[in-house]
Structure 1
Amino acid sequence: MHQKNKVIKKNEKITKKLSRVGIGSRRQIEKWIIEGRVNINDKVLLDPTIRVDEKTKIFFDGKEIPKKEQTRLWKFHKPKASLTSNYDSKGRNLIFDFLPKKIPRVISIGRLDYNTEGLILLTNDGELARKLEMPSSGFIRKYRVRVYGKIEKKKLEQLANGIIINKIKYKPINVVFERQNSSNAWIHMSLKEGKNREIRNIIKFFGWEVTRLIRIEFGPFKLGSMKEKDLREIKYSDFSKLL
């Protein structure tokens, strides 16, 4: 009888390893390693390029890193006036403060501004987060926007071909007009990139002001009827094809 070949797992960079178990993004982990927050085999690690294997004992902030669990994904309704961050020097609300203690360490897939509310995805798998937040994922981000001012539809039509504002090029954005009240209007904006404060900058360029910004869709995932601070786990079968 032929003996089966033993499967040997290749070494991987420690930044990738820690990202896969949901510690943070690779960029964050590089910073934390340089700060001396990671130990391997009882020694402080300062080199973020080192490679590790399954036998390497890794500690982050004094706690041993567990082996990778099955990838999980959640939808969270981010409230206004909260940060998509693990820390804030000003003591402002963080989205992770609203999560139940029973869920494992998670990271956000992308970010939402402090005063933006709505759908944000959370996962325990840093590699999945990195994959889905990139524009190459092709995921459409859809927002419901309340605008202060009288909407001129011709201005919004310019966005269909993209626009350059203050030397920043924004890719085409699909805009659907919902309704206009005496001083406010509601519109829907769908975009692929999600650059920093993209919608707010565009609306300001047209001479209006965003008074409420709600993300209602991220790719195939929808906010639906979720209430503020609601957390719902997504079935593995509903996202396994994305892995």
Structure 2
Amino acid sequence: MRLNQYIAHHSKYSRREADKLILAGKVSIQHEIVRDFSYQVREGMKVYLDGRLLKPQDKYTLIAYNKPKGELVSKKDDRNRRVIFDSLPKRFAHFTPVGRLDFASEGLLLLSDNVQVARILMESNLERVYLLKLSGKIQDYVFKAMESGLSLENASAGAHSKSEIRSMDFAPFASFSCIKNTPKYSKIKVAITEGKNRELRRFFAHFGLEVLDLKRVAYGFVHLNNLPTQKSRFLERKEYNKLHEFLQEKLQS
């Protein structure tokens, strides 16, 4: 495994932060300073950061939570709104959410007790699958934009009022299927491979379609299925097996 990957996997630092630490001479292997972040760490080698041994953190837990509307994905809120940790059992208080679902959205949220696992999943191109209800009929040019992608200089429609993000590039949707399409409202199932800030709300708002309901039903190999609202579960063995395979591929790439 590359040295910067090793540090990112076994510490709180990102790969970019690890590069800076390595170049600054703060990383040593077998007590010798190494400034090459592509250095291959082999089994049995001892890596030190600022003189402290980095201990492998290969154990992790992942849970699935069915977030309801009206909860924030946050530790606390300065306006005393309900947060996910008000509903989750106290033993998960130290878990890190994998990305976000906004206040008005619901559905599958993954959380992990390993920050690096949460970060890898969040930054991955795993498919996120959503069920949407929109305020109107989806025209053909909207479907074409879903197929080809979209680049907007002003993507503020559909964004949070305090968001500073204006321009946004939307990758082609991984897949979509229209369930209902009428002048009053439409229902659609979509899969995307990114997790940008209110991405779907911004995309459809550009075409004058308000997202009335948004529910995430899958994240990669984990599916919501019949998990009740405000309830959580541990991953099943087959899901953990797929997660392990995925992480191994990511760490070796």
TM-score normalized with structure 2 length: 0.67
Instruction: Spell out the pairing of 1:144-223 with structure 2 (5 A cutoff).
Output: 144-165=131-152, 166=154, 167-173=167-173, 174-181=175-182, 183-223=184-224
1:107 aligns with 2:96: yes
Instruction: Spell out the pairing of 1:1-243 with structure 2 (5 A cutoff).
Output: 17-18=11-12, 51=50, 53=52, 70-103=59-92, 105-134=94-123, 137-165=124-152, 166=154, 167-173=167-173, 174-181=175-182, 183-234=184-235, 235=237, 236-243=240-247
Distance 1:16 1:87, change over 3 A: farther
Separation in 2 of the partners of 1:184 and 1:191? 21
Query: 1:13, 1:51 within 8 Å by CA — same for their partners in 2?
Result: no
Identity score, percent: 29
Q: Which amino acid aligns with 1:143?
A: Y
Q: Which residue of 2 aligns with 1:39?
A: none
Query: 1:109, 1:133 within 8 Å by CA — same for their partners in 2?
Result: yes
Once the two structures are TM-superposed, the CA of residue 189 in structure 1 deviates from its matched residue by: 1.6
Q: Which residue of 2 aligns with 1:47?
A: none
Once the two structures are TM-superposed, the CA of residue 178 in structure 1 deviates from its matched residue by: 0.7
Please give the secondary structure, in 2, of the residue aligned with 1:83: coil
1:50-97 Cα deviation digits (max 9, x unpaired): 746359xxxxxxxxxxx9683111011011111111121111111111
Q: Which amino acid aligns with 2:246?
A: L
- Please, which moves more after superposition, 176-185 or 205-214? 176-185
Query: 2:122, 2:195 within 8 Å by CA — same for their partners in 1?
Result: no
Gaps of 5+ in 2: 1-5, 18-48, 155-166, 248-253
Q: Which amino acid aligns with 1:82?
A: E
Which has the larger strand fraction? 1
The number of residues matched between the two structures is: 193
Gaps of 5+ in 1: 1-11, 21-25, 28-49, 56-66
TM-score normalized with structure 1 length: 0.70
Separation in 1 of the partners of 2:13 and 2:89? 22
Please give the secondary structure, in 2, of the residue aligned with 1:241: helix
Query: 2:134, 2:185 within 8 Å by CA — same for their partners in 1?
Result: yes
1:122-177 Cα deviation digits (max 9, x unpaired): 1100010111110xx22011110001112223322222110122242111113211
Please give the secondary structure, in 1, of the residue aligned with 2:80: coil
Separation in 2 of the partners of 1:52 and 1:95? 38
Q: Which amino acid aligns with 1:17?
A: S
Query: 2:66, 2:229 within 8 Å by CA — same for their partners in 1?
Result: yes
Once the two structures are TM-superposed, the CA of residue 118 in structure 1 deviates from its matched residue by: 0.5
Separation in 1 of the partners of 2:177 and 2:119? 29
